[in-house]
Amino acid sequence: MQVETATETPRTSAPPQRRERPARRGVLARLLTLREGSVIVITVLVAAYFAATTDAFLSWDNFKTLLPYFAPFAILAAGEVMLMINGEIDLSIGAVYLFAPFMFHEFHVAGLPLLVALALALGMCLLVGLVNGFFTTVVRINSFITTLGMLLALTGFTLIISDAQPVQTPGTDVLGGQTAFTRIFGGGTYSELIWALAIVALLQVVLSFTRWGIYTVAVGSNRIGAAEAGIKVRLVIIRNFVVCALCAGLVGVLEAVRTTSVQPDPSGANEVLFGGIAAAVIGGTLLAGGSGTVVGALIGALLLGLLNDGLVITGVNADYLNFYLGLAIILAMAANTYVGRARKGQTGG
Amino acid sequence: MTKSFGPVVALRDVNLTLRKGEVLGLLGDNGAGKSTLMKIICGFEKPDGGSMTLRGEPYEPRSVDHARALGIDAVYQDLALIDELSVFHNMFLRRELVHRPLPLLANRAMRAQTRAALDEIGIDIPNINAPVARLSGGQRQAIAVARTVHSEADILLLDEPLAAMGAKEGARILDLIARLKETGEVSIIMVLHNYVHVLASCDRVNLIQDGVIAFDKPTAETSIEELTELVVSEYRRARMAA
């Protein structure tokens, strides 16, 4: 009688050794392994400097003063980061920021309820994102040019529909009385902060834990490879253009509700654009694409807000403010790059 | 099948057949159109003319995804790896596992399967959480091959799968291909340059010259000398023309 024995085919090789990460490291060293690590360190240093040199800085009242310098830029930068990781840029966020509250006003004047008017205004922003995405990915105009055109066109369009006149934000009261609507959409003290934290958290989850996020990094890091792997590159980019425009439109409405009126002022819109992009870049997102973090953009916006607020408290002459702010941004960015290099263990460029 | 890029004719009249369970070696000079042919079969490029048949049915891939759904997957010459993403995210690129119904990535499951797949091939990659940018050329290539083999496609297109590998890593990949062949379920087209590899692992060999298949023989009926002579004579003709 024959007995059959089942033999398992031996594995071709022993499983390779796994190198474990060093278990314990200093808090600072571990912080610096984070992509956001360097900007966190710089932000803490800046906060410590202002706290040490002024009395008013470390107070709850000042924190509230700081919020409008910080929360709107965090939202703008969060959207911009998604697009910058794609290797694209949206210069029209300032124009969308300007355009959205005027659309909100137009729809409301046309007799629509507040929430419907708001939804339609954001719908128009979504459309702007689609148009930006279409011209960038299908017509293949560089996004810098596409969105520069959009910046001018949309700013001009806003001036046309508003007759260059300011309007009162729908649903708001000049005397500052709050309704449920205004409290949620920018009028409440912490409204913008809550929106900022929620949007940053949502987009960071999208970026780190969903296919959308993986594809966003893939398209920015290796566009041809991503396409070869079957990723729909155009769709990914267009989607992020839409996210970016929606963030900008929402901030426009939040700020309009907070200040109860909107000026069709193109120069203000441009400052919003610069602030948003600066926050994204300071937060550690590469202009070249492939790498970035939404949480970093939040901290970048916080750093900008702290600088702005701290310099005002320190009593810097208003004429000098932008000058110092500009220098501070370059210094912070240089320190950021230096710390980032130290983080990766490189000594030189 | 034909394909041109502007005035450049890449494929003039290619007629190629892959039988079930077969490993076909594809040879040809640089620029002969090997990669273009592979990209057409896997749905990344559209042919200008001609037709393809898959299991007796007309085959017109609309996209890479479509070809993959029909069981065709490729390792590209440029590997299509994303430097910034981890080894296991690259392994699952476009086939990511998610926690249904939530759209969140099932990273733990992807890590475990990646580890198992790499161990099975015998490729040593200590840290699968590291971005692939940190890996050597051979390791990167191994990941690209492992990704395609792991995709459960039954027609694999491998465009120079051993180009960046050392002898040991290359041998492991050839072992893997031999094992796949033994199952009889998988058919493979491999672009290769090393005739020893061709004779060792392929059933049949095709040579593309001037946009057509100029040579088609079972590997048992050819030799390194014959293959070398084919290429040398092409080189001579090219020199005469120049």
The minimal CB distance from A221 to the residues B83, B104, B119 is found for: B83
Instruction: Supply the pTM of this predicted model.
Output: 0.89
ipTM of the complex model: 0.90
Q: What is the pLDDT of residues B48-80, one digit of tens each?
A: 888 898 988 889 999 999 999 999 999 998 999
Q: What is the pLDDT of residue B95?
A: 92
Q: Strand, coil or helix: what is B207?
A: strand
Q: Among residues B160, B151, B148, which one has the least CA distance to residue B78?
A: B160
| Among the partner residues A13, A17, A222, nearest to B82 by beta-carbon distance | A222
**Interface with B, mutate which of A207, A228, A236 (most B CBs under 10 A):** A228
Q: Which residues of A touch B (CB under 8 A)?
A: 11-13, 15-19, 205, 209-212, 214, 217-218, 220-222, 224-231, 290-291
Residues in chain A: 349
Residue A240 in tokens: 């992020």
Preferred mutation among B41, B62, B84 to probe A, highest tally of A CBs within 10 A: B84
Tell which residue, B57, B122, B48, B125, has the closest CA to residue B88.
B125
CA-to-CA separations, A341 to A81, A217, A256, A304, in angstroms, rounded: 21, 21, 41, 22
Interval B110-142: pLDDT, tens: 999 999 999 988 888 989 999 999 898 889 999
Average pLDDT for runs of 10 along chain A of length 349:
40 42 60 76 90 89 90 97 96 97 96 96 98 97 97 96 94 83 91 97 97 97 95 97 98 96 91 92 86 93 92 86 81 74 53
Distance from CA of A215 to the nearest CA of B (A): 8
Pick from B82, B118, B172: CB nearest A217: B82
B84 in reach of chain A (CB within 8 A): yes
DSSP lists the bridge partners of residue A307 as none
* CB-based contacts of A114, cutoff 8 Å, min separation 6: A108, A170, A171, A181
Of residues A205, A210, A226, nearest to B82 (C-beta): A226
Any idea what the Cα angle at residue B122 is, between residues B118 and B127, rounded to 5°?
50
CB contact (8 A) between residue A11 and residue B120: yes
Q: Is B63 on the interface with A (CB under 8 A)?
A: yes
* Chain A CB contacts of B68 below 8 Å: 230
Q: Are A72 and A199 in contact (CB under 8 A)?
A: no
Put simply, the answer to whether B80 touches A211 (Cβ < 8 Å) is no
Phi, psi of B6 (to 5 degrees): 60, -130
Contacts of B64 in chain A (CB under 8 A): 227-230
For B28-43, what is each residue's pLDDT tens digit?
A: 888 788 888 999 999 9
